[in-house]
Amino acid sequence: MDAMTTAIITATELAPELTGPNPPVLLDVRWQLSAAKAAGAPAFDGRAAYAAGHLPGAVFVDLDRELASAPGAHGRHPLPGLAEFGAAMRRAGVSAARPVVVYDGGQGWAAARAWWLLRRTGHPDVRVLDGGLPSWEGELSTEEPAVAEGDFVPEPVGGLLDADGAQDLARTGVLLDARAGERYRGEVEPIDRVGGHIPGAVSAPTTENVGPDGRFLPPEELRDRFKALGVGAETEVGVYCGSGVSGAHEVLALAVAGIPAALYVGSWSEWSADPSRPVAVGADPR
Distances (CA, A) of 59 to 78, 131, 193, 202, 221: 23, 18, 35, 37, 33
Q: Would you state the pLDDT for residue 94?
A: 98
Do 117 and 169 have their domain in common? no
User: To the nearest whole number, what is the mean pLDDT of the chain?
Assistant: 94
- Which residue range forms the structural domain that includes residue 177? 160-271
Predicted local distance difference test score (pLDDT) of residue 222? 97
Whether residue 67 is found in the same domain as residue 175: no
Mean pLDDT of 27-47: 75
- CA-closest candidate to residue 252, choices 74, 149, 127: 127
Q: Same domain, yes or no, for 121 and 167?
A: no
Task: Over range 16-25, report the average pLDDT.
Answer: 95
Question: Does position 185 have pLDDT exceeding 80, yes or no?
Answer: yes
* Residues present in the chain in total: 286
Over 90: is that where the pLDDT of 272 sits? yes
In terms of domains, do 45 and 130 share one? yes
Task: Provide the pLDDT for residue 40.
Answer: 58
Residue 1 has pLDDT above 80, yes or no: no
- Integer Cα distance of 12 and 152 in angstroms: 27
Number of compact structural domains in the chain: 2
Residue 123 has pLDDT above 80, yes or no: yes
Report d(CA 88, CA 99) in Å as an integer. 16
pLDDT at 35 over 70: no
pLDDT at 2 over 50: no
Q: What is the edge-to-edge ordering of all strands in the sheet holding 100-103?
A: 8-9, 126-129, 100-103, 25-28, 59-60
Confidence band, pLDDT 50/70/90 cuts, at residue 41: low
Query: Stretch 88-92: mean pLDDT, rounded?
Result: 98
In terms of domains, do 77 and 186 share one?
A: no
**154 has pLDDT over 90:** yes
One domain for residues 179 and 70 = no
Q: pLDDT at position 39, please?
A: 53
CA distance 35 to 69: 18
Tell whether 183 and 264 lie within a shared domain: yes
Q: Any idea which residues carry the catalytic annotation?
A: 241
